[in-house]
Structure 1
Amino acid sequence: MARKFFVGGNFKMNPATREQKRALVKILNDANLDPNVEVVVAPPSLYLISILEILRKDVQVSAQNCHAKASGAYTGEISPQQLVDAGVPYVILGHSERRSLFHETSEEVAAKTRAAIDAGLKVILCVGETLEEREAGKTQAVVQAQLAVVVAALEPAQWENVVIAYEPVWAIGTGKVATCEQAQEVHAATRAYISSAISPAIADAVRIIYGGSVNAKNCKETGNQPDVDGFLVGGASLKPEFVDIVNTKRA
C-alpha cells in the first residue's frame, strides 16, 4: 500500500509574538509545496484559531495536546470536543516533553488518544526512548510498551486516524539525529509489532514518521527509507527550511 508522506511541524511554545506568527504563516502560504504530501502544523493553543483563519487550506492545523474529558473543571486544559468545534483536525499526544516534563503516563496518553478519536480528531501519537534506554538495548521494549496501552484502548478501525511519530528522546532538540539505518530499524520493528498486535493490513496502512532534530540537510536520506513515512519537525518548522523538508520526496 502506498502511504501518503506526512510532514508535521511542532511549533512548541513558539512563536513569541503575533508578528512572528504571521511571518511563519506567510512562509507557508507563499511556498511551493509538494501536493502529494500531507502537511500539518501545530502552533500554541493561543494561535490555533487565528492561524486556521489565515493559513492556506492545503496545510492543516494541529493542537499540541488535549484533555481526555469533554468538559469540566480542568483549568488550563482544552477538550477534544472543543478542538473539533473550532475546526482543528489533529492533535499531538504523548510527546516526550509531555511525558518527561509533565509526567504523563502511557495510560494517560492512551486515554487521551481514545477520547480524541472518539470526538472526531486525528492523532499524531508520539513514542520513543531515552539515551539511557537505547544504550541499554531497550528501544523496542520501550516503544512497544508505549504503543501497547494504545492498542488496548482503540478499536482496530480507529487506527486509520493515527499517525505514529517515533521520536528518540535523545535526538530531540539536541542536534543529534538517528542515522537513517537506526530510524528504519525502529520503524520496521514498530510496523511488525502493529502487524502482530492488531493486523498486517493496519500495519501496512499506518504511517510511521520520524522526529528528532530533523532538518533540510538530513531529511532526504531518512525520508527515502521504506518504513519512514514522513517527519515530525521541531525547531526547523520555525524556519524557511521547513518547506524543503515538506518537499523531501520531490525530485
Structure 2
Amino acid sequence: MRTNNKENVHSTTEQAIRLLDAVRRANGATISDLLSEFDISRSALYTHLNTLSDSGLVIRENGRYWVGIRSKEFSVAAETRKPSYQHVKNEIQYLENEFEAETEFLIEEAGRINVIYHSENIDHNRVRLYAHNTAAGKAILADLPDQRVHEILDEHGLPQETENTITAKDELFDELEVISERGYAYNNNECFDGYHGIGATVGGIDGSILGAVTLGGPIYRIPENRLKNELVDALQNTTNEIEKSIEENRSIISSELASQD
C-alpha cells in the first residue's frame, strides 16, 4: 500500500521515477519532450538522466532516451517473487488454446492492477491498469474490505477510458455487490474499445487475495453469451484448480508467508 504521508517521500527520488516513467511512455524521448513535461532546469534534467543512464535504467541512442534493458531485471524479480505465481501460470496456459481466448493473471499493487502473465504479447502501456474498469480489478475490489476500496478509488479516481467506463462510486459499489454474489466480474468494453472479459480472484495460502485470472478478447471474436456461459465455467474451474494446487504445495511456497513478516 502506498504511503499518504508526503513527509516520508523523497521529492528528488520521486521526480527521477516520474522521469523514468515519462521516458517509457514516450517510447523514446528527446530532451525537448522532457523539458516540456517537467518544470525543472535543463541542468537538473541532465543530472537525472545521467544518473539513470549510469545505472543502466535508461540509455541514449540517436538523440533520444529509452528505457534500458536492465529494467527487465526488476520486472523478472517482481514476477517471480512469489512461488504461487508460477502455479497460476502453469494452470492457465492451456486456456488460450482450448478456448481461443486471451488469458491473463493480474495482481493488485499500490492500488493499480498489474499484469503478471498474458498469453499474448502486449504493449507496455497495457501492463498497469486501473481497478474500476477491468474484470480483474473489479473482481479484486469485490473481495477487498470497503475501506481499502475507498482508499484505492480516492487515490486513483475512476478515470473514463471508454463510454462504458463506470465513473461514479455508488454505481461501482453496486456492481461490486453483484460480483460478490455471482463469483466473477465482467468487463463490458470498459477499459479498451471493442474488448470484453471476465475475471475471478485466486486466494493465496494465507487467505489473502493472490490476484485474478481473466479470460477475454475482442467482442467480434468472443460473443457475450459464450463469454458468460462456457468461459465462466472454464474460469471458475481453473481458479478452483489453482487454489487446490497452491494448497497441495503449501510447504514449498511457504516462503510467501515468511516474506510478509
TM-score w.r.t. length of structure 2: 0.26
Task: Find the structure with the greater CA-based Rg.
Answer: 2
Higher relative contact order (CA 8 A, sep 6+): 1
